[in-house]
Structure 1
């Protein structure tokens, strides 16, 4: 088994974007996998598609995972994952709930290295305010949802590692992921 892609799971402000950037600085093969998105709100980091386009991809069996959240639809196109792996990139995808982590992992069990990023609620709030988020209350609700998701769905075997992102900086977190991925693949 050689795990060749990474799922970063965590609440808002847990460091998913920052750690993804740090991974890319360590090794340019670590590449953010843009999820498909139907709907409004934040546009950075997503590939916007129409509902009709998403329906077409679904009909072709290309959606590895599909999530309905915040009034939007988010999905991972398996063809995007395959193209990145074929190009010898290491896809890094951000996930916000365990059923989706499991669904994506099940789409190709020998590909996905699963990382849980944890940050206390008060640090989530502090980071959100410091970066100027206008929707901090919604981000705190998402933190609460993530906590409930862990309580309801994590069996203790969902993630390969957990990183407390309030205790180490992004570079150290990224290096921890790289080291853990190497150790896992060497055994």
Structure 2
């Protein structure tokens, strides 16, 4: 293994990926959210906005580890972006597709810890509306797709599984930090 540690948070929209990542960064400055490359419109915060041409160049150079389309946009995990995230600390990557997890683990050598964050569909609806999303209906379609994705991959191994309606973000962050410390053979942050 490379000695580099990373975290993958998988779950449907509004399952708590952003909130848990914020709790991780409060726990330790070594945690950094990986900003996916986004080609499209809408929310720019938390993304590195790019163009279709830039994405094609990255793909041609073998620099795209995984890309998916959702909400009328394309989201990519790119090698240069992951390199930069590791240079900054322990990247926390948000994903909603098992294929994306596998592509990242297989395509970028590191000690990846994978956490499944889950909440019921009605909670996604409540949280999405509560944070002012204008596309809650699309997020519920994505919730359904995430449920189907999980059902299609029953053998997926999770290092941690959390119901975010029953666990505080700070507690989840502590669990993730402890997991990484155990895997590294060190004391948690």
Equivalences for residues 4-153 of structure 1 within 5 A: 4-87=5-88, 89-153=89-153
Which shifted more, 33-42 or 64-73? Answer: 64-73
Distance 1:132 1:70, change over 3 A: closer
**Residue 69 of structure 1: how far off its partner (Å):** 2.5
Contact conserved, 2:9 with 2:17, CA < 8 A, in 1?
yes
**Residue 3 of structure 1: how far off its partner (Å):** 5.4
Which shifted more, 165-174 or 105-114? Answer: 105-114
Contact conserved, 1:3 with 1:185, CA < 8 A, in 2?
no
Distance in 2 (alpha carbons) for counterparts of 1:79 and 1:154: 31
**Residue 163 of structure 1: how far off its partner (Å):** 1.0
Distance in 2 (alpha carbons) for counterparts of 1:84 and 1:7: 13
**Residue 153 of structure 1: how far off its partner (Å):** 2.0
1:47 alignment partner, SS class: strand
Q: What runs of 5+ residues in structure 1 fail to find an aligned partner?
A: none
Distance in 1 (alpha carbons) for counterparts of 2:136 and 2:68: 22
**Residue 109 of structure 1: how far off its partner (Å):** 4.4
Contact conserved, 2:121 with 2:143, CA < 8 A, in 1?
yes
2:75 alignment partner, SS class: strand
Across the aligned residues of Structure 1 and Structure 2, the Cα RMSD in angstroms comes to: 1.7
Distance 1:86 1:136, change over 3 A: closer
Q: What runs of 5+ residues in structure 2 fail to find an aligned partner?
A: none
**Residue 78 of structure 1: how far off its partner (Å):** 0.9
Which shifted more, 29-38 or 60-69? Answer: 60-69
